[in-house]
Homo-oligomer: A and B are copies of this chain.
Amino acid sequence: MDVVEYRPTRDQYVWTFGGVAPSHRITPGTLLRLWTEDAFSGRLTSTSDRPSAVLNMAEVNPQTGPFFVEGAEPGDTLALHFVDMTPARDWGASSTIPFFGALSTTERTALLHDPLPERTWIYELDRARGVVRFAAQSVDLELELPCNPMLGTVGVAPAGREVRSSLVPDLFGGNMDTPEMKPGVTCYLGVNVEGALFSVGDGHYRQGEGESCGTAVEGAMDVTLIVELIKDTPTVWPRIESDTHYTVVGSARPLEDAWRASQIGMIAWLGELYGLDRLDAYQLLTQISESPLANVVDTNYSAVTKIAKNLLPAGSAYGGMHAHLRDTARTI
């Protein structure tokens, strides 16, 4: 098994999907040991830091990559199996940012209000207890919250000659900000350009569904993943497979369209897995869909349709790719 380790320096960060030269060329089957900087580019470190003062908005959400996958072509599907995500620092940060967040006027939901106040929270990580600590600033309240590492941003180069900011989620994946992107899952992304050119970033030590204020417990992350390629098999909306669930992520505005995309994606997947026609799949989904929101803050919103495998007959998605990668991961 080829192994590539990569810890980009600040000048190696990338800020877009598409439009940049690959950091590495790898073959399917490669194991990657990566480090990802946090979405603030490490600039938010104290509760006294105000985002408008310390952040450079042209340098937010740095990505690690992109990786050119040998043999990947449009019409193929890239499989990224996340073996491990481990916080690379002992603290994470979150903040309200002017004109950003689900409960704020924004550039896109443009109202006449002044921005909400800026406030920064620092979450200490207790590795032994597996928790991050929330400390309120308006009252004397501290809470231990389970540390649940995930990646906010996983994507390939977009179709249609486009180059998109790493802040955007869409068909190419990107900044989906779903807690489903966690260790042990396989993410399937349709390949749009030769080499796929995927990158990853935006580690979260924890995030609620919807990512209300727009920033999770943001933290640098050590990420281990295995890359595989499924030839001649297209994927439309990003899919995630775990040992327990099938998941599809849709991204759009308004939010109902994001969710509809994820539902249509799942109806297609149920058809592939079990031969159900669209009406039967629609009906089944009506009764078994789990629909936890991902983000309601980014340029597109992201919504999730998720099905528990234990409600379904045994299925084999992408030729059993997830099980194969799980097995491979155990050998590392």
CB within 8 Å of B: which residues of A?
Answer: 15-16, 18-19, 58, 94, 96, 101-105, 108-114, 116-117, 119, 121, 134, 136-139, 141, 143, 145, 160-165, 167, 206-217, 250, 252-257, 259-261, 263-264, 267, 274-280, 282-293, 296, 301, 303, 305, 311-313
Contact = CB atoms under 8 A, between A and B. Distances in A.
Nearest to A284: B134
Given A113-B104, A119-B279, A286-B216, A19 B134 contact: no
Contact of A256 (B104, B216, B255, B284): B255
B103 A212 contact: no
A105 B102 CA distance: 12
Given A210-B291, A213-B286, 12 more contacts: A15-B161, A16-B161, A102-B260, A105-B113, A136-B276, A138-B280, A143-B311, A145-B288, A162-B163, A162-B164, A212-B285, A215-B286
Copy number of this protein in the oligomer?
Answer: 4
Given A137-B280, A254-B253, A287 B207 contact: yes
Contact of A260 (B58, B103, B275): B103
Contacts of A305: 210
